[in-house]
A = this chain, B = another copy of it.
């Protein structure tokens, strides 16, 4: 398949990541951009993801003697520049011909965890090399075939992956109407899952998702944990019941997400679910959060609501499209710089302080658009 997209590499000028979305739309082909940017159904949940951060407010604190706050965290033995990590996103080659090689390099230079997607358009050894020692996690779309699953786990273990993230909220594809209107099919293959999805290129997202296992259950978590010996993060729980099921199955971490508003429209904003999940987890295992994060204040609010790590998806892909590895790194730097400014103004010196910060509930739901131009995809 003859697919051309951006091959940019180098610094990008931007004021915030909403800028990047508009800029990326100009350099990424329509179908690919639509796949990246859009959400499910009426995009209610997609929009709520961002708006919901205003359901809790950061009351600034003064006279706390804070200066030059630090975002550094030690996580699982690794020192990270920030609790902001890279979310698994399929097919980086849609945004930049360098694909995951460039994004992994950018993440490595920033100094945080990179989560490789099963649907990466680069094979895992090359990503590992590009990461150059930076911690890597592997997001698993589980096959219907256990032999294939074992083989994939063997391969990722070989590459020193530190955790497996089991995607449990996407056993079928969401109703991505923009993709349907664009007639979008993946133009590039997916080497990691080629055993169970040999023809990734040329297939719709629905086809790809259906190739993975639908009837995912607690037993699969147990099996992955036991076979791989790696910590397993279950990606999907948005309520206490799901947390209990995942933890009983041996999950080593809970990843709160609604898949960026791409799966079940009519569900809650991910951020609105975080506190219930955190209460159910009760600090027994770490919590990762994604969906809707566009600002340093969003990261702050997620950490203050129970997250240990906060993952970025779309904004990084826009940075990748516009500036390759440098653009990728700039997105992390930008959000982290915003986070530091918020920490200073909120009177929090460390990430631990942020995690103990009390947000104020906002009983109102302001109708204000967060960025009215950003999501026009037709």
Q: Which residues of A contact B (CB under 8 A)?
A: 15-16, 41-42, 44, 47-48, 51, 53-55, 57-68, 168-175, 177, 180-181, 214-218, 220-221, 234, 236-239, 241-242, 245-246, 249, 258, 263-268, 273, 295, 297-298, 300-301, 338, 341-342, 344-346, 360, 362-368, 370-371
Contacts and interface: CB of A to CB of B under 8 A. Distances in A.
B264 A60 contact: yes
Nearest to A16: B177
Contacts of A344: 171-172, 214
Contacts of A342: 264, 266
How would you classify the secondary structure of chain A's contact residues: helix, strand, loop or mixed? loop
A378 to B, nearest CB: 11
A41 B297 contact: yes
Contacts of A297: 41, 264-266
A38 to B, nearest CB: 12
A349 to B, nearest CB: 10
A338 B169 contact: no
Given A63-B242, A173-B341, A365-B365, 13 more contacts: A16-B177, A41-B297, A44-B366, A44-B370, A57-B267, A58-B267, A59-B273, A63-B168, A63-B220, A65-B215, A66-B214, A174-B345, A263-B345
A312 to B, nearest CB: 17
Nearest to A245: B63
24 contacts: A15-B177, A16-B41, A41-B297, A44-B368, A57-B268, A58-B267, A59-B238, A59-B267, A61-B239, A62-B245, A63-B168, A63-B216, A63-B217, A63-B242, A63-B249, A65-B217, A66-B214, A174-B345, A214-B344, A266-B297, A266-B301, A268-B360, A363-B363, A365-B367
A62 B216 contact: yes
Contacts of A41: 16, 295, 297, 338
A199 B234 CA distance: 54
Given A295-B42, A365-B364, A341 B236 contact: no
Residue picked from A61, A236, A338, most chain B C-beta under 10 Å: A61
B65 A364 contact: no
Contacts of A42: 295, 370-371
Contact of A63 (B177, B218, B273): B218
A363 B269 CA distance: 13
Nearest to A362: B268
Given A236-B60, A246-B63, A267-B60, A364 B55 contact: yes
Residue picked from A42, A44, A370, most chain B C-beta under 10 Å: A42
Nearest to A266: B297
Given A221-B63, A239-B61, A367-B366, A341 B174 contact: yes
Contact of A345 (B15, B57, B171, B177): B171
The 9 A-B pairs of least Cβ separation, nearest first, read A364-B365, A62-B168, A65-B217, A367-B367, A67-B215, A266-B297, A62-B236, A67-B214, A264-B345
Contacts of A234: 62-63
B237 A62 contact: yes
Residue picked from A171, A298, A368, most chain B C-beta under 10 Å: A171
A54 B266 contact: yes
Contacts of A174: 341, 345
Nearest to A170: B345
A181 to B, nearest CB: 6
B236 A172 contact: no
Contacts of A15: 177, 180-181
